[in-house]
């Protein structure tokens, strides 16, 4: 550890829970943040300020003005340029801490790329907005013996839980199936920046404990910053019939349940069932006579009222303005090709 590091992280070093030995471990650690929205942007900034030596940020989406109320790393210029969250986060973190390694990857985490994108992680933080991604993270983390920290927030309510393989239940033990019926989203129920910050802060605290080698009881924590109430309960023991940690089948890693999904708070469907490189400049030329097109190196945005298509170089697309998978697929085939 350099004299500069000792000065920068002096307040953590004098904290008995971390100390100089713990700070050394943090500087040598690798954390992966999956999803860089309200939770993930806070997580990434806090990890960078704490001196986690290597941070990988994975996110599939672009910044919009409605994100700025709660997504801590982004500003109006980022939203105006419709930058990918992962790219903007990498740029911001390099300004926050030039002494660490940061990698922002614009990608959708899938069964086909999870091995590559999560490789080398010592802890994984959940900043996603859907159960499919969480089951995939859980299956990979349990199989590899890597701890990860689940978190979610909507309205003024939030929940977080560390998943430490071999200690307590895994995510699939707690939620064998996704919730059924209509669920509140950030669009339908709103969300407060204070609850996302609170949940993300608890996730980061658990991540730092894990990276420093601290042993602690895994707890399920829920809180409501508007109506009041904080509750913590111990995790149940692993379910011996759990498909992930009990039977070790890892269905998420086999791509089970993979389908176009509605995105939280976006009134949109993501088409991610194919991976084929696209020449966005040629696509822009082809669409220019059909509607407004904006294009940069990260993606292309095409406006065909009442819909909006955002297309990425790997062929993935987000169709905004509908939650009907059939409509989204039809628009993709019509403008990009079957």
**Residue 210 belongs to domain with CATH number:** 3.40.50.720
* Same domain for 286 and 216: no
Quote the domain boundaries for residue 270: 261-335
Q: How far apart are CA 138 and CA 146, in angstroms?
A: 9
pLDDT, position 336 = 81
Task: Count the domains in the chain.
Answer: 2
Domain endpoint, select from 222, 239, 254: 254
Phi-psi group of 206: left, alpha or beta (phi > 0 → left; psi -120 to 50 → alpha; rest → beta): alpha
Domain endpoint, select from 254, 273, 295: 254
pLDDT, position 298 = 87
Q: Is 186 noted as a catalytic residue in this protein? A: yes
Using one digit for the tens of pLDDT, what is the confidence trace for 254-303?
A: 877 665 565 655 688 888 755 667 888 888 888 888 889 999 888 899 99
* Same domain for 313 and 207: no
Domain endpoint, select from 209, 228, 254: 254
pTM: predicted TM-score of the whole model, two decimal places: 0.85
pLDDT, position 328 = 85
With a CB cutoff of 8 Å and minimum separation 6, the contacts of 54 are 29, 30, 31, 100, 101, 102, 103
* Same domain for 196 and 158: yes
* Same domain for 227 and 289: no
Q: How many residues does the chain have?
A: 338
pLDDT, position 47 = 98
pLDDT, position 259 = 59
* Same domain for 84 and 46: yes
Strands 123-126 and 30-34, bridge-based pairing: parallel
Residues (pLDDT < 70) of the chain are 180-183, 187-188, 257-266, 273-276, 338
**Active-site residue, selected from the candidate residues 36, 170, 186, 264:** 186
pLDDT, position 22 = 98
């Amino acid at each position: 550890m350099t004299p500069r590091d000792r000065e920068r992280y002096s307040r953590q070093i004098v904290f008995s829970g971390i100390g100089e030995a713990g700070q050394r471990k943090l500087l040598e650690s690798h954390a992966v943040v999956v999803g860089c929205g309200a939770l993930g942007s806070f997580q990434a900034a806090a990890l960078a300020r704490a001196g986690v030596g290597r941070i990988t940020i994975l996110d599939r989406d672009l910044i919009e003005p409605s994100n700025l109320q709660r997504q801590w790393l982004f500003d109006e210029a980022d939203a105006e340029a419709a930058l990918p969250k992962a790219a903007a986060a990498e740029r911001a973190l390099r300004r926050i801490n030039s002494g660490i390694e940061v990698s922002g990857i614009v990608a959708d985490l899938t069964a086909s790329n999870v091995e590559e994108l999560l490789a080398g992680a010592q802890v994984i933080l959940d900043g996603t907005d859907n159960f499919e991604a969480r089951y995939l993270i859980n299956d990979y983390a349990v199989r590899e013996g890597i701890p990860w920290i689940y978190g979610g927030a909507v309205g003024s309510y939030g929940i977080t839980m560390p998943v430490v393989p071999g200690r307590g239940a895994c995510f699939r033990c707690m939620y064998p199936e996704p919730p059924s019926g209509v669920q509140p989203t950030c669009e339908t129920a709103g969300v407060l920046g204070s609850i996302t910050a609170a949940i993300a802060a608890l996730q980061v605290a658990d991540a730092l404990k894990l990276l420093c080698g601290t042993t602690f009881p895994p707890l399920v924590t829920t809180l409501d910053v508007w109506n009041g109430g904080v509750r913590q309960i111990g995790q149940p023991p692993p379910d011996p019939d759990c498909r992930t940690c009990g039977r070790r089948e890892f269905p998420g890693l086999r791509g089970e349940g993979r389908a176009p999904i509605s995105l939280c708070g976006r009134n949109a469907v993501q088409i991610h069932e194919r991976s084929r490189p696209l020449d966005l400049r040629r696509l822009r030329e082809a669409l220019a006579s059909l509607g407004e097109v904006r294009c940069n190196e990260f993606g292309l945005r095409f406006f065909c009222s009442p819909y909006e298509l955002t297309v990425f170089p790997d062929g993935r697309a987000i169709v905004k303005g509908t939650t009907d998978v059939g409509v989204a697929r039809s628009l993709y085939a019509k403008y990009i090709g079957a």
